[in-house]
Amino acid sequence: MSFRPPGSSEPAEETVPQSAESEPPPESEPTEDLGSIGSSPTVATEPAATDGAEPPKKKRKLRFLRELPVLILIAFVLALLIKTFLVQAFYIPSESMDPTLKVGDRVLVEKVMTHPHRGWIIVFSNPNPTVEPHRNWWQTFWHWIGEGFGVSQPANEDFIKRVIGLPGETVECRHGSVFIDGQRLDEPYLKDSIKAHGLDTRPCGPFHVPQDELFVVGDNRPDSNGSRYGLGYIPIKDVIGRAFVIIWPPSHIKWLG
């Protein structure tokens, strides 16, 4: 502090030591909420129940029950389409394919095939069908639906045999063997059948297989006429599909050649 000289009318100027000069106040730091220190970020949870509102679980259950009939209908339609166009199960009613296929076996038949091959086991429509009653388009549709779900049975049964002769070939049976265009056909799938039922030595043919048709025979040759005796040639358009696996009973499950 400086003193005013004697006789001076102006007030003496106060000086502040350099060290005592006031510095600008520090910026105020935001005040933290002590209650939030160390806590995790807020996570949204289920909304609090309000008076008169349905619980979310109950809403989901009611929505599922409303949608259930539609889901069942879609499942039935998909099953019908798969059975009609892709894969279908068939029951074996006779011994014509024994022991490859036993009575009571169930096989899956795939319907997506371009052209049958020799050695395939195929399912085909009755080549000599009975006349079915006349139906209008509505009755035909519901009959198709009934057959698809197994409610109604088709008027004509289907057959299952093995493809032996292809279109344009000549088939002949001599001394228990099959000859295709004069060449003996190797049939390893008959080994078990010959052990069980014996060798079929009946002669047949020669048969000249027409175009777009097949020559088929069962593996149980002594007990299967097939195209040799009475069944005739099978139009390719009547082939339903190829049996590729036995699915029942469990002890018989196997792939088919």
In 3D space, the residue among 75, 83, 141, 148 whose CA is nearest the CA of residue 110 turns out to be 83
Can you read off the two tokens belonging to residue 118?
A: 């020799």
Cis check for the bond before 6: say yes or no (omega within 30 of 0): no
Burial degree of 127 (CB within 10 A; 0-12, 13-18, 19+): middle
176: nearest Cα among 153, 197, 161: 197
- Give every strand in the sheet of 177-180, ordered side by side: 183-184, 177-180, 170-174, 204-208
Q: Residues with catalytic annotation? A: 96, 161
Q: What b-and-e string marks burial along 135-148, b requiring 16 or more CB atoms within 10 Å of the CB?
A: eeeeeeeebeeebb
